[in-house]
Amino acid sequence: MRGVAGVGALAAPVGPWPRLERSQIPTEIVDLSASQLSAALRQGLVSSVEVMRAYLDHIHRYNPVYNAIVSMASDDDLIAQAERADQALARGEYWGWMHGMPHAVKDLADARGFPTSQGSPIYAGTLPSEDSFMIGRIRDQGAIFIGKTNVPEFGMGSQSYNPVFGATGSACDPALTAGGSSGGAACGLGTHMLPVADGSDLMGSLRNPGAFNNVIGFRPSQGRVPGGAAGDLFYQQMSTDGPMGRNVEDTIRLLHSIAGFDPAQPLSLRDAIPPFDEFVAPRLAGLRIGWMGSYEGRLEMEPGILELCEGNLRALAGAGAIVEECMPEYDMDRLWHTWLLLRHWTRHGARALYDDPDTRRLLKPEAVWEIEGSFGASAGDIYQAGVARADWFRALGALFERYDVLALPTAQVFPFPKEIHWPESINGVKMDTYHRWMEVVIGGTLAGLPVVNVPVGFDERGRPMGMQLMGPFGDDRGVLELAMAYERITDHLDRRPALVEAR
């Protein structure tokens, strides 16, 4: 897509910051986007104390129903921190674009002063001594941490339930799942309990909750957001941290904060993500989109999903984009088995929890299955999986010679009741693992490519869905610029859910 920019197909750039007047501040401060909120704080149109009180009131009204935010700090402490943020601004100290803004951290990441449970009774109440790498970068932007966002146990599964905090409901219907593993983050955004959110993605954990809550979720190129100097630095390159937002602009601003080279991470990318004012939405005329759909029927899809995606692709075509069906030249059974092997391998680090009977009994069955799946993997198996992954990367690369972007649905089912741990079948076809119903997301993960979830609308029951837009490796900017253009010709993000208040 940067190639499209190179032939002069770009529109005029968007200004760096929205300029607000006091009359533009809505009755509900929480309805300001993160970018608008940042500008309002910086201009002195609202104070951090006003913002914090507005968010706390909103959270206390709705979080008991949706269960997005857990392990919250006390109101008094948060108000005191907001007062200090206001005092600093009055002295001319500006900490960053999130100065004085409330933020909650995904409960797989460490934030100093808050417990990291990972959704597991094994770690519930564990207090870290310092921030994880990404969270430190967010703190450096002036955010005030208010709590954590709910996750599935150890982040395993695209359904955010656990025995410590319970299940998180979708912002669009709290009886349905918010997805996962960044389910609490996405629900917090969709309900306006958070201005912006951090997350992570191994098997769609930024994308699936984005779709299930009608918000933006962006999985960056592998190495774009450093994971910090801990654990395996070379081989297990499948999970990545990333941003979520109520709109594309907010998502870009958070990405700019958390991305960047880290000398302690040998595989982190050295090129920089520019600030938001350098992002430019492309004109869509001539943009080439390869629609992979359900991989020619290989992936079971709940009725209505493909139709919603294709309706939005027609809107892109109406704006001048060229949309064609395509299929990578690759054995998709090989891709799935490669995924299973490497996914199991990433869980071998939890072997000690499995070997100890006292902790094994606290693991959910899916976690036990994942760990056990790593036991029989040989060096030869891992080598062959690495070759298969490289072949997949090359197969997608061949498609990128014809297309600027590739598109897929974000999930194979609409949000389902949060009491169900995972869909056991789609269209009567049995799902043979607890995550087979999310097979549609593994392609972006295994290739390490930048992928954004954009909303495609709702079915007749009001359940949201999204579509993945995937670009070449390293072209995070191009993918997000396309998302900006898509946002301009659709209105899905404007649809606010009717929130259910705690009684």
Number of domains in the chain: 1
**What confidence category does residue 25 fall into, taking pLDDT thresholds of 50, 70 and 90?**
confident
What pLDDT digit, counting tens, does each position of 366-411 carry?
Answer: 999 999 999 999 999 999 999 999 999 999 999 999 999 999 999 9
Mean of pLDDT values over 49-75:
98
**What confidence category does residue 229 fall into, taking pLDDT thresholds of 50, 70 and 90?**
low
If we measure between CA atoms, which residue out of 146, 152, 153 comes closest to residue 168? Answer: 152
In this structure, is residue 158 part of a structural domain?
yes
pTM above 0.75, yes or no: yes
In this structure, is residue 461 part of a structural domain?
yes
In this structure, is residue 162 part of a structural domain?
yes
If we measure between CA atoms, which residue out of 480, 401, 468, 440 comes closest to residue 207? Answer: 468
Contact between 186 and 242 under an 8 Å Cβ cutoff? The reply is no
Cα distance between residue 212 and residue 271, in whole Å: 32
Q: Provide the sign of the torsion angle of the four alpha carbons 319, 325, 330, 331, taken in this order.
A: positive
CATH number, domain containing residue 419: 3.90.1300.10
DSSP 251-295: HHHHHHHH-S--TT-TTS--SPPPPGGG--PBP-TT-EEEE-TTT
Q: What range defines the domain where residue 134 resides? A: 2-224+236-261+279-326+402-494
Contact between 464 and 213 under an 8 Å Cβ cutoff? The reply is yes
In this structure, is residue 270 part of a structural domain?
no
In this structure, is residue 344 part of a structural domain?
no
Read off the DSSP letter of residue 10: B
- What's the angle, vertex CA 398, arms to CA 456 and CA 8, rounded to 5? 65
Q: Which two tokens stand for residue 417?
A: 């009741």
Would you state the pLDDT for residue 21?
79
Cα distance between residue 116 and residue 106, in whole Å: 9
In this structure, is residue 337 part of a structural domain?
no
What pLDDT digit, counting tens, does each position of 304-349 carry?
Answer: 999 999 999 999 999 999 999 999 999 999 999 999 999 999 999 9
Would you state the pLDDT for residue 16?
62
Read off the DSSP letter of residue 431: P
Contact between 100 and 51 under an 8 Å Cβ cutoff? The reply is yes
Contact between 204 and 181 under an 8 Å Cβ cutoff? The reply is no
In this structure, is residue 293 part of a structural domain?
yes
What pLDDT digit, counting tens, does each position of 97-136 carry?
Answer: 999 999 999 999 999 999 999 999 999 999 999 999 999 9
In this structure, is residue 272 part of a structural domain?
no
- What's the angle, vertex CA 185, arms to CA 181 and CA 191, rounded to 5? 130
